[in-house]
Amino acid sequence: MKWDAKLYEQKHGFVAEYGESLLPMIPVNPKQSILDIGCGTGTLTAMLGKKGGRVVGIDSSADMIEEARKLHPEIEFQTKDALNLEYQGEWDVIFSNAVFHWIRDQKKLLEQVSQALRPGGLLVCEFGAEGNIAVIEKAFQAVLAKRGVSYSSKFCFPATEKFCALAESAGLTVENAFDFDRPTPLKEGEKGLYYWARQFYRDELEAFTGEEQEKILAELEEETRQRLYNGQEWVADYRRLRMAARKRG
């Protein structure tokens, strides 16, 4: 997935805004170390800076990390793959918002998280649950099918029970986990879905000419308008999975 860091910061700030509700789950302790996996442009990482002593944000996108360093020079950021963390019992808290659904090998992901946490360390995460953006995904698939292109979702939206089982098998004890509907208004009014798709379907759209991309986005809007547009703004059909778990040991 290629990220447009500036577009993300300007048009998708709601991702971090919703993630703020996770922060009360993390205690304040000036001696603790916190790792933010998939930090993006660093908005929540900066807020986590008030929760602990050492706070580091990591992201697989170099563009995101570059933007995060510009916006929050006081925080340490690193370009790093969540499936290759290379940490051994180093972190008291691992935090992640709206990231884990981008990682298809969630078994390995949770094993990496468990390995990186100290015994008793806390994982707090939220991401897309089973059924997340189902209306948008189905419509996008249909629009590409008209052009003879097969679309297979790049996301991994697990059932809560399955994800908890993976966490337990990785050495984590799940303290709390649940999924819920979270209809999410998209910024920019009438253009909300347009900008959302520009970011999150960027790779797929780049296979087409600029003119054809505009047609695809217009058809996507038409396919979903009745269910997702309320006359003033687009409201995406988000479902989320939230979990808190601790490293056994």
Among 174, 166, 179, 187, CA closest to 232: 187
Q: What is the pTM of this model?
A: 0.90
Could you please report the per-residue DSSP string of 59-97?
ES-HHHHHHHHHH-TTSEEEE--TT----SS-EEEEEEE
Dump pLDDT digits (tens) for 20-67.
999 999 999 999 999 999 999 999 999 999 999 999 999 999 999 999
Domains of the chain (ranges; CATH) run 5-132+155-185+238-247 (3.40.50.150)
Cα–Cα distance for residue pair 30/14, rounded to 1 Å: 28
Cα–Cα distance for residue pair 30/15, rounded to 1 Å: 26
Among 127, 130, 139, CA closest to 201: 139
pLDDT band, very low/low/confident/very high, at 193 (cuts 50, 70, 90): very high
pLDDT band, very low/low/confident/very high, at 185 (cuts 50, 70, 90): very high
Helix (H, G, I), strand (E, B) or coil at 120: strand
